[in-house]
Amino acid sequence: MPGPLDGVLVVDLTRALAGPHAAMMLGDLGARVIKVENPGSGDDTRGWGPPFVQPEGRPEPGDRESTYFLSTNKNKESITLDLKDEADKATLTELLRRADVLMENFRPGTLARLGFGTDVLAELNPRLVTLAISGFGHDGPEGGRAGYDQIAQGEAGLMSLTGPGPDDPQRVGVPIGDLLAGMYGAYGVLAALMERERTGRGQVVRTSLLAAIVGVHAFQGTAWTVAGKVGRAQGNHHPSIAPYGLFHCKGGSVQLSCGSESLWRKLCAEFGLDPEAPGLATNGERVDRREEVIALLEGAFADTAPEDLLARLAAAGIPAGKVRTIDEVYGWDQTQSQGLLVDVDHATLGRLQLPGPPLRFFAPGPDGETETTRREHAAPPVLGADGDAIRAWLDGSSS
């Protein structure tokens, strides 16, 4: 299946992670994504590593591929353009005349200085939807700041909520600000494309790393805005639910969640505990006495190995799980059953497995559902791999 965005043309001027992730999301859904890169060096992430991988029999450093780049650029074509060169700017202009979506994550004002401000784009292609991602917003007192994920995680409060305690703030283990900005950006683009169906005109969608992280503050946000409580990092236990977190047992640990009083009672019944013990009968009481709850449960689990403990929790109907390493996740049959690994043929590296898109699609029918999820995916392109074909298409010499 070609995907629900088949026929949508995306011009991707972004680099690093937030913008490329947004563009890949649309490519995964079937859009044609043309990635515009700097001649010679390409996207910054082509040089980010290790780890790098080398084509077999080609040991030169210039032949290596960055696994970072591979993570966020599948289902794209690559053309190299120098946006300070008039001929290359003319090529970009022709691409934009035909595009449905333009994505950029330059510092605010850069695209206008290159001759492609919003007024120019609107005249060039009134139906164009533009996504612009910045670090801290396109206006406001700090709108011009450069945005890097870890800095944004700190500035947007996420690091203060992450880590073993309030005195040891930690970043999330992936560039979550970049990824969230890309996800919000793709979501905004789809909304703008829907609105274009009614109005016939495109518009500019703007988001930032700051906005994306604040957008997922969830209960930590309203704890402050409504109740005046400042959340702090407290390790692997939930600030508003108990027991909910990681618990040590014999030779390891498990995670469990009692998100309701009925689950608390089931847990206590399984391990011979009193659910109505003084100070532990309600969630609010248990949150106030979290350390006591943790000690109580870890004492009950002390003689049980992780796999046996998980089996008992499952039999009792308690949501629980293990902490898997990355290799264990990709080797897990449940991960594989969800289409979260895809096979692609790379131009220099050959057959690869990449993380797959997180969405699946199904068409209902009289005999049940038929999966319509896109099955075939293109490997991330080598630098400039599609330039000649794209130019021939723009010149009308190729369909």
- Does CATH number 3.40.50.10540 belong to domain 9-218+375-395? yes
- The three-point CA angle 266-257-279 to 5° equals 65
Calculate mean pLDDT across residues 34-50.
95
Percent of the chain whose predicted confidence (pLDDT) is above 90: 93
On the 0-12 / 13-18 / 19+ scale of CB atoms within 10 A, 120 is: middle
- Name the token pair of 143: 């709108």
Percent of the chain whose predicted confidence (pLDDT) is above 70: 98
- Given a cut of 80, whether residue 62 has pLDDT beyond it is no
Q: Lowest mean pLDDT: which of 57-71, 233-247, 301-315?
A: 57-71
pLDDT tens for each residue of 13-29? 999 999 999 999 999 99
Q: Which residues are catalytic?
A: 178
CATH superfamily, region 244-321: formyl-coa transferase, domain 3 (3.30.1540.10)
- Can you give the residue ranges of every domain in the chain? 9-218+375-395, 244-321
- Given a cut of 60, whether residue 398 has pLDDT beyond it is no
- pLDDT score for 59: 65
> Comparing C-alpha atoms, which of 233, 291, 287 is closest to residue 264?
287
**Sign for the pseudo-dihedral over CA of 345, 351, 356, 360:** positive
Calculate mean pLDDT across residues 331-344.
96
Looking at residue 338, its amino acid is Q
On the 0-12 / 13-18 / 19+ scale of CB atoms within 10 A, 270 is: middle
- Name the token pair of 211: 């906005």
- pLDDT score for 397: 63
Looking at residue 223, its amino acid is A
12-40 CB burial, b ≥16 within 10 A, e <16: bbbbbbbbbbbbbbbbbbbbbbbbbbeee
Tell me how far apart the alpha carbons of residues 76 and 32 are, in angstroms, rounded to a whole number: 7
44 phi-psi bin (left φ>0, alpha ψ -120 to 50, beta other): alpha
